[in-house]
Structure 1
Amino acid sequence: MAHPSPRNLVPSSGDIQAPSIEDIRARCQDTFGVRACAWQAEFAQAILARKSDVILEVATGMGKTLAFWLPLLFRSKGIQIVITTLNTLGKQCVDSLTKAGIGAVSIDGSLSHEKMAQVFKEIRNKKYRVIIVSPEQLMKEDSHFERLFKTSGFLEAIISFIIDEAHVIKTWGTFRPEYREIERLRYRLRKEIPFALVSATMPVLVRQDISRVIRIRKENLTTITRSTDRPNVHLVVCKIEYALKSFQDLAFIINRQELAKPNGLRPPKFLIFFDNITESVAATKYLWSLIGQEHKPEEKIKWFNSCMSEDYKKGEIEKLRSGELWGLCTTDSFGMGMDLPDIMLIVQYRVTCNLCSLWQRFGRGSRDRDLEATAILLAEAKHFDGGCKKTEGKAAGIKRKRQNGDTSAGSPNKRPTITPAAEPNMPTRIFSSNSPNHAVSALGCLNHSIQGPDASDNEIEMADSELDEADEARQVLYSTAANIVLKNKRKAAELEPAMEDYINAEGRGLGCRRKVIKLYFSSDKTSE
């Protein structure tokens, strides 16, 4: 995929000039020991120019957070404020910045009143150049931040506000309403302070919605996008065969015969995602039952959720990193931005999330791009073509309307025409050797879903091919507001069309699930 040429932005207002791409790369190399990608340097350049807001969309694991820190290298007294979704993610960033010699602090509800007062005293004394904060703390009424924002010296030091994992404003805004209150900052702060929306998963309508909520300035808006594909993560869909509450479809993860051998293979490092804490606990206990007591199953597989303390979660993450833990049955508490390089297996149990969330979860796999992971969606039978009665033809209807000159194509009243898919089989076993470079393979799953290196290249080529008329119709369907499904997890709900296509890609003539991802995120429209 061709990358855009470096931007040569004009000098910004005031005494600040936007540095060149090469200057940014050189300083990044000197400070962090790595050469910045062109898009990382472009992001920093746009922030430093202070002429526009910025939207950044690149794949998981590509280094978005490094881009956040690059403007600091050109503003010796500048401060970056990053609004983050998860407390653990903030602490992870603080640790990495401290190692680079950059003072940083993470502010969330876990801080005591005394500790909070101390932290803000240190902020006023300019101890920290990066402030990572939850939306609840940032937007709290009569808070330390409210008083800071009335201080001219602090306002002058702010380089930008970065909203990390910005897609959650759409999906989490109902139970974390402070996300939707961030727009108030636009009226309180100086206009030249840029806001940046950053995510790996911003479909067109999500991007439009959060831009409206945050009051992103349209004039001179800088949009930097790259493909959201993760070619080193192999995609698999399998039909759930057993009772949902039995969790027997997860048995393929544990090979009792191998574990019984003196030097037998243990499971690959894994994450199993649930949208229900109770299910994650029950699934963990089921997996324990498959492991002999000599392996101390309660110490090898654990559940992980928002009910746990931050210190406990941090400890469990480190155990998973070291290999002491084999895997976690988790909710989104272990998710966005967690930087473990060698998670080799991701499983989503049941279709209880939309495609945005699924792609974020699958993005936890093999963040080390020299490794290969497998991502499996275990889907209920009712979601497969032929598994239950389906309604007819929306994508085909859009195509017909376009051919007839009807510009209103995109009406949400019909569904895509479908062709029954081949019946999938369940996986047998998944193994990994103790070598981190051993590729994980899911044996016995859908034939087209398990690829060797050559087949994976074919997948990418297929996904990067030009869109035909049917693809364009699907893209319109995916981006229709009525079809962005925010599911009620306690009630049966209609799947969004993109998820239906993802599950049934082969039978619907799409061939490759990556094509669905490409259309859903409009990642064919890479910034020029």
Structure 2
Amino acid sequence: RRPQPSFPTISEEDKAKIGELMRKYCNWSDDAQPMQQESIVAQVDAEDVILHAPTGSGKTAVVAGPYVFPENKGRVTIFVSPLIALQEEMVTTFKEEYKLEAVAVNSSRKASLKQTMRVSDICEGKYSVVLISPEMLQTRRFIDGVLRDDEFYHRVLALVIDEAHTISHWGAHFRKKYSSLGVVRAFLPPKTSVVAMSASFTPRVRRDVIKKLHFGSEYHDIDEGNNRPNVAIVVRACHRQLSSFADLDFVIPSDVQQPSDIPPTFIYCDKKDEGDLIVDHLRNKLPPDLRELGVVRPFNASLSHHYRKNALQHFRAGNIRIMVCTDAAGMGCNIPNIEVVVQWKLPEKLSMFVQRAGRAARRRGMKGLAVLLVEPSAYTELPQDTAATASTSAASTSTARAKSSKKTTTRKSRAPAGYAKAHGRSRGRNADATANAIDRSIRMAVDDLAEDEGLIVLVQTGDCRRRVLADVF
């Protein structure tokens, strides 16, 4: 095993000033937040961190922070990021906001480890931050060319995993290299800080991430929750035929005359083909003179990298007003001007909705709206294993406890008569408030082992949904 590299020591006095140093370095009006300060100093001290904080709360600054110390000049942070579009965006963010050279190593750059970005440039510390996917990080070419390189070994500062909940969500089936990220430690100096960041760590996912990244018994566990008080949360059933997409009509104002009349909106749809139909439907809702301006656009992984990059730029510029997205834009992309986020139909897990809702209102002082439009069947499905405890009364005030089997094939229980109406099935159907009545005394609890992480509870509870999110996360 290679020896532990030695680095210049940063004084305790300087580390204590990290909040002030970040303010001056980044030209902020305030000192760095406590969670940023703790995470930055932990990296300098070669200690592991698991950081749970809301979207838009400044987790990127955690990666840039160690470089305010001159002693870290020439050192390199490996920043694992799941999506090419996000990697490319972060390269720009590090350069423009933090004055750091960064590079994305991904499949969009065919010669990424040969010509465009020579291996020697990475190993010699030309880039402070190397953004890379877990798959590319664990390729034989990157391991042999970079991780096994002695000069790079003596420059490594930290391994940071962004959107680290994907280690648990994707590692088993979808993108298996997420579950093996912990083995990268074997190629790094023994005392290298590993930082796992996300806005959606449930207790179960947190435990899984800690295990798979091989955290020891001592690490920094920073939990800021993920509440975004500036984003209103609305959950409604679809009241019109799902195939008509008419429940989405509200995103286009009835009196629209020009593109700027439409609030900047992201609509998330988990099926690409359905997303294309939504694009067509919304375009047809526009006045004829606006339909060919590209105001409504799709955004998904099947589209070229060039298209997606340009689409994000046009959305920021205000040329595109509505983006119909799959998860390709669900994580991390920092677009500050999104006013409305809509999730069309139930996603697989609650954390998916939280991540997507977190795209809204990221600009300081801005308010946003996150809407979850669900199938009517979401109100007739009991949270798993609660059939025995749920009341058969429509106006039941008893608490239904959400239990789930560890098997994902558990048969779903159907709710008794009157259950759906009491739990909000009719909300939004009529202007008459009494017709939309919900039993607000219904307070549903969440089992932290539930496969959907409490998504059905969020939909059906009669009390505050922020309470549900606080219980889950």
- Scaled by the length of structure 2, the TM-score of the pair is 0.84
Letter of the structure 2 residue corresponding to residue 288 of structure 1: R
The answer as to 2:423 corresponding to 1:421 is yes
Could you say if the C-alpha distance between residues 237 and 312 of structure 1 is closer, same or farther in structure 2, counting changes exceeding 3 Å? same
Aligned to 2:398: none
Aligned to 1:474: 445
| Residue 65 of structure 1, CA deviation | 0.4
| Residue 474 of structure 1, CA deviation | 3.1
Could you say if the C-alpha distance between residues 387 and 180 of structure 1 is closer, same or farther in structure 2, counting changes exceeding 3 Å? closer
Aligned to 1:249: 247
Partner-residue secondary structure (3-state), 2:197: strand
Letter of the structure 1 residue corresponding to residue 192 of structure 2: I
Q: Distance in 1 between matches of 2:209 and 2:363?
A: 30
| Residue 387 of structure 1, CA deviation | 9.7
Aligned to 1:484: 451
Could you say if the C-alpha distance between residues 18 and 110 of structure 1 is closer, same or farther in structure 2, counting changes exceeding 3 Å? farther
- Residues 376-433 of structure 1 deviation map (CA, whole Å, 9 limit, x = unaligned): 111111111589999525699xxxxxxxxxxxx978499999963244343899xxxx
Aligned to 1:49: 45
| Contact 2:232 2:369 (8 Å CA) reproduced | yes
The answer as to 2:92 corresponding to 1:95 is yes
| Contact 1:395 1:415 (8 Å CA) reproduced | no
Partner-residue secondary structure (3-state), 2:206: helix
Q: Distance in 2 between matches of 1:269 and 1:446?
A: 29
- Residues 264-305 of structure 1 deviation map (CA, whole Å, 9 limit, x = unaligned): 972211011011111110100011111122113551001100
The answer as to 2:469 corresponding to 1:517 is yes
Aligned match of 2:25 in 19, 26, 31? 31
The answer as to 2:249 corresponding to 1:293 is no
Q: Distance in 1 between matches of 2:242 and 2:38?
A: 47
| Contact 1:94 1:106 (8 Å CA) reproduced | yes
Partner-residue secondary structure (3-state), 2:302: coil
| Residue 311 of structure 1, CA deviation | 2.0
| Residue 327 of structure 1, CA deviation | 0.9
Gaps of 5+ in 2: 392-401, 407-411
The answer as to 2:150 corresponding to 1:152 is yes
Q: Distance in 2 between matches of 1:150 and 1:192?
A: 16
Matched ranges for 1:50-199 at <5 A: 50=46, 52-74=47-69, 75-99=72-96, 100-113=98-111, 116-119=114-117, 120-141=119-140, 143-173=141-171, 174-199=173-198
- Residues 342-386 of structure 1 deviation map (CA, whole Å, 9 limit, x = unaligned): 211111101132101000000000012411111111111111158
Partner-residue secondary structure (3-state), 1:333: helix
Letter of the structure 2 residue corresponding to residue 201 of structure 1: S
Q: Distance in 2 between matches of 1:62 and 1:425?
A: 32
Could you say if the C-alpha distance between residues 389 and 76 of structure 1 is closer, same or farther in structure 2, counting changes exceeding 3 Å? closer
Aligned to 1:315: 310
| Contact 1:232 1:369 (8 Å CA) reproduced | no
Q: Distance in 2 between matches of 1:227 and 1:186?
A: 28
Partner-residue secondary structure (3-state), 2:232: strand
Q: Distance in 1 between matches of 2:390 and 2:157?
A: 45
Q: Distance in 1 between matches of 2:227 and 2:377?
A: 27
| Contact 1:319 1:325 (8 Å CA) reproduced | yes
Q: Distance in 1 between matches of 2:77 and 2:226?
A: 25
Q: Distance in 1 between matches of 2:205 and 2:294?
A: 40
| Contact 1:18 1:46 (8 Å CA) reproduced | no
Could you say if the C-alpha distance between residues 374 and 444 of structure 1 is closer, same or farther in structure 2, counting changes exceeding 3 Å? farther
| Residue 161 of structure 1, CA deviation | 0.1
Q: CA RMSD in A?
A: 3.2
Partner-residue secondary structure (3-state), 1:191: coil
- Residues 200-230 of structure 1 deviation map (CA, whole Å, 9 limit, x = unaligned): 1000101111222221222x21111112101
Q: Distance in 1 between matches of 2:156 and 2:264?
A: 40
Partner-residue secondary structure (3-state), 1:63: coil
Letter of the structure 2 residue corresponding to residue 303 of structure 1: P
Could you say if the C-alpha distance between residues 388 and 110 of structure 1 is closer, same or farther in structure 2, counting changes exceeding 3 Å? closer
Aligned to 1:406: none
Q: Distance in 2 between matches of 1:376 and 1:108?
A: 33
Partner-residue secondary structure (3-state), 1:113: coil
Could you say if the C-alpha distance between residues 447 and 367 of structure 1 is closer, same or farther in structure 2, counting changes exceeding 3 Å? farther
Identity of aligned residues (%): 25
Q: Distance in 2 between matches of 1:324 and 1:447?
A: 40
Could you say if the C-alpha distance between residues 115 and 138 of structure 1 is closer, same or farther in structure 2, counting changes exceeding 3 Å? closer
Could you say if the C-alpha distance between residues 297 and 175 of structure 1 is closer, same or farther in structure 2, counting changes exceeding 3 Å? same
Aligned to 2:262: 267
Q: Distance in 2 between matches of 1:356 and 1:348?
A: 12
Matched ranges for 1:277-288 at <5 A: 277-288=272-283
| Contact 1:427 1:444 (8 Å CA) reproduced | no
Letter of the structure 2 residue corresponding to residue 504 of structure 1: Q
- Scaled by the length of structure 1, the TM-score of the pair is 0.76
| Residue 444 of structure 1, CA deviation | 12
| Contact 1:394 1:417 (8 Å CA) reproduced | no
Q: Distance in 2 between matches of 1:425 and 1:273?
A: 21
| Contact 1:21 1:38 (8 Å CA) reproduced | no
Q: Which moved more, 1:40-49 or 1:170-179?
A: 170-179
Could you say if the C-alpha distance between residues 411 and 391 of structure 1 is closer, same or farther in structure 2, counting changes exceeding 3 Å? closer
Could you say if the C-alpha distance between residues 116 and 200 of structure 1 is closer, same or farther in structure 2, counting changes exceeding 3 Å? farther
Aligned to 2:351: 356
Q: Distance in 2 between matches of 1:484 and 1:271?
A: 26
Q: Distance in 1 between matches of 2:434 and 2:116?
A: 57
Could you say if the C-alpha distance between residues 417 and 206 of structure 1 is closer, same or farther in structure 2, counting changes exceeding 3 Å? farther
Q: Which moved more, 1:19-28 or 1:124-133?
A: 19-28
| Contact 2:382 2:415 (8 Å CA) reproduced | no
Q: Which moved more, 1:151-160 or 1:342-351?
A: 151-160
| Contact 1:425 1:444 (8 Å CA) reproduced | no
Partner-residue secondary structure (3-state), 2:370: strand
Partner-residue secondary structure (3-state), 1:259: coil
Could you say if the C-alpha distance between residues 383 and 162 of structure 1 is closer, same or farther in structure 2, counting changes exceeding 3 Å? same
Q: Distance in 2 between matches of 1:107 and 1:59?
A: 27
Could you say if the C-alpha distance between residues 300 and 333 of structure 1 is closer, same or farther in structure 2, counting changes exceeding 3 Å? same
